[in-house]
Structure 1
Amino acid sequence: MTPLLEWPVWALVLIAYVFAQRIFELAVAQRNTKRLIKEGGEEFGRRGYPLFIALHTAWLVAIVALAVPPAQPDPALLLPFVAVQGLRYWALLTLGRWWTTRLISSPDFPRIRKGPYRLFAHPNYVVVVLEIALVPLILHELSVAIVFSILNAMLLFWRIRMENRVLAMRGNSAG
């Protein structure tokens, strides 16, 4: 374990970015969730939501606790991470006011089928799967990449099945 203060600047920037990005997403999600509930949306899978928060928190803590970042990042890993961030923001911007980390739905809400949602049923989950593996690998922590990828896959298996059932109840389409 390398103390955080001894990490190279690029690694500190990377972990600070990931942390800030998670905080930003939670703030956007909370705002959108409140509005969607007021507009008649219902939350599905509420009991499982804390598991996602715990997973992502533990993932970041494990990276910080166990990683031994190299002096320079490996471009073969850093470049895909940057591309994944592009997909993240494309998905977020495409959903706009409908984007949230919770599963909020109503039969009256549109089913978005434009942007990355034309290409993938769940582009944000593609982002999370890749990021959970890439960030620890960039920081030379293979065990965190493996363990948290498996845990994330288990949670996503449950969440995607539920989300597909909920989305199937929406009759209309937007985009």
Structure 2
Amino acid sequence: MTPYAVLILLVIAERFAELAVARRNGAWSRARGAREYGAGHYPTMVALHTALLAGCLVEPWVADRPFLPLLGWPALALALAAQGLRWWCIGTLGPRWHTRVLIVPDLPLVTSGPYRYLRHPNYVAVVVEGVALPLVHTAWITALGFSLLNAALLATRIRCENSALAPSRSLSVPGAAP
């Protein structure tokens, strides 16, 4: 097994850890009256992220892609940084982090951690990882295909989240009505 295949298998294991956290957090949110938004696009998101990881494994093997150190090492650094950002988001949101859009009523927006700087920092991590992880082993077709499809999906997802979070924004604004 190549070191790159081991990397992708580690990312797959990390995804299962994320799903366990999301499941636990989903139960927490639902117990507090959370409402789910955008459930219709969730299966597409799962399929796209699964295809990314499959493409990372298949493309270098089928197309006999080499490891190019000048591309691979910086791409690996970016992929690892994306993982760090993702887990910073998960840690900052605590039980409010999910893979689905679950909104607990009457909770203000989280404005600490990476959310102090960006409205959707987890999606920055997704975009960076979607480019960087395949490029670690020159899987440029996977990187390009995922990035294009993910841009369309993220446009839908971010619209959905922004709409769902709109009532919470008023709770975070100083002087807003309770």
Q: 1:96 to 1:69 in 2, by over 3 A?
A: farther
Three-state SS of the structure 2 residue aligned to 1:104 is: strand
For 2:66 and 2:84, locate their aligned partners in 1 and report how far apart those are by CA, in whole Å: 24
Q: Does 1:62 align with 2:55?
A: yes
Q: Which amino acid aligns with 1:173?
A: S
Quote the RMSD (CA, aligned, Å): 1.8
So what's the TM-score if we normalise by structure 1? Answer: 0.89
**Runs of 5+ unmatched residues, structure 2:** 174-178
After superposition, residues 7-156 of structure 1 pair within 5 angstroms as 8=2, 10-67=3-60, 68-70=65-67, 74-156=72-154
Contact 2:72 2:138 (C-alpha < 8 Å) held by counterparts: no
Contact preservation (8 Å) 1:42, 1:106: yes
Give the counterpart letter for 1:164 in structure 2.
N
Deviation per CA, 1:20-77, whole angstroms, max 9, x where unpaired?
1111111111111122011100000011111111111111112211123528683222
Report the identity percentage.
43
Q: Is the 8 A contact 1:11 1:69 kept in 2?
A: no
Q: Which amino acid aligns with 2:40?
A: R
Deviates more, 1:127-136 or 1:82-91: 82-91
Aligned length: 167
3-state SS, counterpart of residue 43 of structure 1: strand
Structure 1 gaps, min length 5:
none
- Give the distance between the partners of 1:89 and 1:33, measured in 2 at CA: 17
Matched residue type, 1:82: L
Runs of 4 or more above 3 Å deviation:
none
Structure 2: distance between partners of 1:66 and 1:47: 29
Q: Which moved more, 1:116-125 or 1:164-173?
A: 164-173
Aligned-residue offset at 1:14? 1.1
